[in-house]
Structures are given as structure tokens and as C-alpha cells.
Chain A
Amino acid sequence: MTPVHPNSGHTDQPVVEGAVDPSDAAVSLRGVSQSFGNRSVLDDVHLTIPTGQFVALLGRSGSGKTALLRILSGLDPASAGEVRVAQRRTMVFQEPRLIPSQRVWRNVLLGLNARSRRTDALACLAEVGLADHADDWPALLSGGEAQRVALARALIREPQLLLLDEPFAALDALTRVSMHRLIRRLCALHGPATLLVTHDVDEAIALADRVLVLADSRIGLDLRLDPALDRSQGSSQQVAIRRTLLHALGADEQTDLPLASTQTELERHRGEPSPP
């Protein structure tokens, strides 16, 4: 696969010729910077994502996560640097962004040529467990279902690069867990390079092969996770990685906080008679 400039093909801007990255990568960024006005959000970012890798990008809000994603998707041009990305790439946003005037299966086929058919959409909807909802209007779906349709819409194009912009942030905890399982399975099945932007450290550890932490407009930490890692919540390995990531994010956990005493303090407050 040959990475291309993100603004080629899909958008109105012409293809910008540049050095073709020889490696089998889905993303290749060299010295990429982005600034809005005089506020710099990305500063000299270098990043290569090989095909098939699941990368989680962590960062506080305003750290430039979304700016990076918008550059990769071709929605915004970078202020500086060289950006090369796989040609077939799709994005799942924080909100489902389904077209309300089109039925679910039509939404899945968004942007595909006229030859694409209903049966393809149905097969893809079946993968996310929503074959029964193919003929519904998007307004009928729950938040989790709508987001699964958005996922089906992203996967039907067999992307080489799947961009996920906090797609689980608006879902409830239970739905989020089943979405995690689904996305792991589908990414393993379809094998795109995946870049998941999130602010949830646990989500990053649960899903990713590699975790990046964006801090001070740069990639502050690039951590590869062993596939054999025990990712279950609270395992010693998980806790250690979690601590490393939180440290890189500048949000250290106060592990020696006396939790129990806080609890009793709360109890005592509750027990006190309320003032008349």
C-alpha cells in the first residue's frame, strides 16, 4: 500500500506530490505541526503506524488529539510537515453522525458508488449485530446502536486506516464494554491500522497494541504493549501501565490516599442530623 497525501482524492484539494514512504505503513508523519491563530496544538510530531496496528492516542482535552485526527482524515491541512496516509481511510466520530433522512442500510453505504448494494450493507450490519435494524430510520436507534451503524459504515469500505475519535465517549459503561469487544474483534478480522483517540486510560490499555501520549503538543510517550499482557482491570501489569500512562499525562494517581478513612468521613457526615 502506498501512503498518499490525505487531501488527495476525497477532498477538493489537488494531490500534493511528496516522497513516497517505502515502508508498509498506513500513517507516516514527519515534523507535522498545527496551529490555530498563534496557539500551537501540534509541534514537530513524527509518527509511523504500520498496517494492522491498533494504536491508542491519549491526551488531555485540548492536547491536539482531535487536531491530529483531523489532519489524518484530510479535514484540516497541517500547518507544516509531511503527512502521508493510506488511501482508503474511514472515520468514526464522537457522535454517530448518521444522515437522518436515510434509512440505516443507506447510511452504511454512504459515499460508496452506485454499484454497492443492499446485501453488502446487510452483511456489514450483521457484523455489528444490527441486521434487524437495516430498514429503520436513524432516529429510532439508541446511542449505542447508532454508533454501531457508524462503525459498520466505516468498516464496509475495508479501510486501510480506521480513525476513531472518542467513539465510545458518549456511551454508557455497559455499552462501552461490549463496544470494546466488538471493535477488537472486527479490527482483528479486517486488519486495518487503527488510531483510537481517547482520554480514557483504561480503554487504551484494554484495546491497543501501542499507546501514544500527547502532551505539550508532542508525542511524549510511545508505549508498545505486549500482546501477552494481562489486560484485565486491576492486574499488576495493568496497574503498572496505567500508572505510567497517567504519569505521562501529568495526572498522577495518589495511590497512598487513605481511601477507607475518606469513606468513614463521608459516613459520619451522612449520619449527622441536618440543621433545622
Chain B
Amino acid sequence: MKLTNRPRRTHAEEEEKPRLVSPGHAARSAVPRWLQGLLTPLLPAALLTWWVTGTVTGSIPQRVLPGPFEIWEAIQRLTENGEILRHLRASLARAGAGLFTGGIAGCLLGLVTGLSTLGNRLIDPLIQAIRTIPPLALLSLFILWFGVGEAPKVALIALGAAFPLYINTVGGIRAVDTRLLEAAKTYGVKPRRRIISIVLPQTLPSIFSGIRLAASISIMLLVAAEQVSTAGLGFLLLQGQSYFDTAQVIVVLLVYALLGMLVDLLVRFAERLALPWTGRETRR
């Protein structure tokens, strides 16, 4: 009789009809919803409290982490007479130029590789080889080649942005539903038309995630590229570092974070505009 693996059950319970449960029962969290809402800001709030009390009471040294007032002062100092805007503009121009040229180059090379077997044979091995070199390691070479002006910085960012777009374009083309192409073929759609009306739209989502990757990479590479310059967020960062101005370093870090978020939001917005057929409202 005692074959069940729940020996604590009484006889009376066993004879009861099986209780009905709601199908999502097991998956639902034991934590009530109102508490879950409180959990999300819990850790950031704790960290913030630690920061404020630590810096005000002086248990955290200024050099390690400046307090809210010092940060506020740094922000004011950097924003008055538009100082930070000048640097931001310089950085955005570089990142934009690099992303644009590198992105277009990566996309075009990806199209050649994805659409023609000849291109695949010719281009892909070389690109895969170059891809293994860290872009940062190339900065020295670029400075030797292009000097210390804008060119090496833009080139570095362009190189970093090209790879994700290349890989995502090729991957997107490889993932196109061949059954659609087959159907178009039986309906007499010419090869060039098949590429324009089927392959490219089907590849766009993948290209857009490539753009998002490339955008964050180009912001990342800014820091390195602007080590040798007189303007830009990277310059501000380095300046803060050499003057032991931790507050300035932190302000620049905050700007980087904001920039990354904004760019990602922007690309997502552009994606939604460009791919109206993939939105949530078009699915059943």
C-alpha cells in the first residue's frame, strides 16, 4: 500500500478526489507581487545610501569615491561654458564617422560574401583572419600610418564597427527562408528581384542587431582612440585621471552610460520604423 513517495499523507486525504490546480501554479513565484515591485529598486537604493552616508561621514576617502556634492560641482564645472558639450560633439563626430564608414563597409562586404559563392571564397577568409586581431592593438599601427589627427581614431572605430555588421549581414542572408525563394522562383521572379524583395528585407533584422552591436563597440573604442587627443570624452577621462580628479572621471563615465543607452534606444526606434512587419501588433 505504501508505494507513494509521500508517506505523510493520511488515509483520508488519499481517498479524496485529485485537487484541481491552476495550470500556471508551479511556475508562479512564491514572492507576492507587491513585494517583487519593491525588490527591484532595493539594491540600487542600498548602494546609493551607502555612497551618500559613506562620503558625507568621510568613511569613504575622496580619492576613492567623491560624494554627491563633489560630483555636482564637477558637473557644473564641465557644463558651464559648454565645455562638456564640445568634448561630446568631438566624440560623437568620431564615433558617428567611424560607425558610418565601417558599418557601410562591413555591410557591403557581408552582402558580397552572403550573395555570391565567389565573394565568399575571396573575402571571408581574409576578414576572419583580420577579425582575430584586437582593434586596440592596431591603434599603434594606425598612429604610425595616419599620424595623430582624426584619421587613426576614425579608422579604429570604423574597423571595430565593420566586423559585427559583416558577420550579421552574412548570417542574416544565410538564414533567409529558402522556401520563400523557391516559391518566388516558381512565380517567375528574377534573381535580382528575389534579392531585393525577399533576401534583403529578411536580412534587415539581423543587420539592425549588427548596428546595435557596432554602435556600442564604437562608443567603447572612443575611450581608447581618444587617448591621444585634445578633445573628446576619452581626453576628459584621461585628464581627470592625471589630475587625480575622481569626480570628473565619474561624470565622464556617467556620460558614456547615458550615451550608450540613448544610442541603443535610437537604433531600436529606427528598427521599428524600418521593419513594420515584425512589430508585436502584427503577430497573432
- Taking beta carbons and an 8 Å cutoff, which residues of A are in contact with B? 9-12, 73-75, 90-91, 93, 95, 97, 99-102, 110-111, 137-142, 153, 157, 276
Please tell me if the beta carbons of B185 and A99 are within 8 angstroms of each other in the complex. Answer: no
- Which one of A10, A95, A139, A142 contacts B186 once the chains associate, using CB atoms below 8 Å? A10
Do A111 and B184 form a contact, CB below 8 Å, given A139-B284, A142-B284? yes
Interface SS majority for chain A: loop
- Which one of A93, A100, A142 contacts B179 once the chains associate, using CB atoms below 8 Å? A93
Question: Which residue of chain A has the shortest Cβ distance to B277 in the bound complex?
Answer: A137
Residues on the A chain within 8 Å of B204, using CB: 101
Residue B258 lies at the interface, judged by CB distance under 8 Å to chain A? no
Contacts of B1-37 to chain A: CB distance below 8 A: 1, 3-4
Residues on the B chain within 8 Å of A11, using CB: 185
CA distance in complex: A138, B276 (Å): 12
- Which one of A9, A73, A140, A142 contacts B283 once the chains associate, using CB atoms below 8 Å? A140
Please tell me if the beta carbons of A101 and B277 are within 8 angstroms of each other in the complex. Answer: yes
Please tell me if the beta carbons of B186 and A74 are within 8 angstroms of each other in the complex. Answer: yes
Do A99 and B187 form a contact, CB below 8 Å, given A140-B283, A276-B1, A276-B3? no
Please tell me if the beta carbons of B187 and A139 are within 8 angstroms of each other in the complex. Answer: no
Please tell me if the beta carbons of A110 and B276 are within 8 angstroms of each other in the complex. Answer: no
The 5 closest A-B pairs by CB, nearest first: A111-B187, A101-B201, A97-B183, A10-B188, A137-B282
Please tell me if the beta carbons of B191 and A102 are within 8 angstroms of each other in the complex. Answer: no
Least Cβ–Cβ distance between B126 and chain A, in angstroms: 30
- Apart from A99-B180, A99-B197, A101-B197: 5 A-B pairs, beta carbons within 8 A: A91-B183, A101-B198, A137-B276, A139-B282, A153-B187
Least Cβ–Cβ distance between B166 and chain A, in angstroms: 22
Please tell me if the beta carbons of A75 and B186 are within 8 angstroms of each other in the complex. Answer: yes
- Taking beta carbons and an 8 Å cutoff, which residues of B are in contact with A? 1, 3-4, 179-180, 182-189, 191, 197-198, 201-202, 204, 275-278, 282-284
Please tell me if the beta carbons of A139 and B283 are within 8 angstroms of each other in the complex. Answer: yes
Please tell me if the beta carbons of B186 and A73 are within 8 angstroms of each other in the complex. Answer: yes
The interface centre, meaning the residue of B204, B275, B277, B278 with most chain A CB atoms within 10 A of its CB, is B277
Residues on the A chain within 8 Å of B275, using CB: 101
CA distance in complex: A101, B188 (Å): 19
Least Cβ–Cβ distance between A49 and chain B, in angstroms: 18
CA distance in complex: A12, B194 (Å): 13
CA distance in complex: A237, B184 (Å): 41
Least Cβ–Cβ distance between B184 and chain A, in angstroms: 7
Residues on the B chain within 8 Å of A138, using CB: 277
Least Cβ–Cβ distance between A100 and chain B, in angstroms: 5
CA distance in complex: A10, B193 (Å): 13
Least Cβ–Cβ distance between B272 and chain A, in angstroms: 14
Do A110 and B189 form a contact, CB below 8 Å, given A99-B180, A137-B277, A276-B3? yes
Residues on the B chain within 8 Å of A100, using CB: 201-202, 277-278
Question: Which residue of chain B has the shortest Cβ distance to A154 in the bound complex?
Answer: B187
Please tell me if the beta carbons of B184 and A95 are within 8 angstroms of each other in the complex. Answer: no
CA distance in complex: A262, B278 (Å): 50
Please tell me if the beta carbons of B187 and A90 are within 8 angstroms of each other in the complex. Answer: yes
Least Cβ–Cβ distance between B12 and chain A, in angstroms: 15
Question: Which residue of chain A has the shortest Cβ distance to B193 in the bound complex?
Answer: A111
Do A102 and B188 form a contact, CB below 8 Å, given A93-B183, A97-B183, A140-B283? no
Residues on the A chain within 8 Å of B182, using CB: 75, 97
Question: Which residue of chain A has the shortest Cβ distance to B201 in the bound complex?
Answer: A101
Between A and B, 23 residue pairs with Cβ closer than 8 Å are: A9-B188, A10-B185, A10-B187, A11-B185, A91-B186, A93-B179, A95-B179, A99-B184, A100-B277, A101-B202, A102-B277, A110-B189, A111-B184, A111-B188, A138-B277, A139-B282, A140-B282, A140-B284, A141-B284, A153-B187, A276-B1, A276-B3, A276-B4
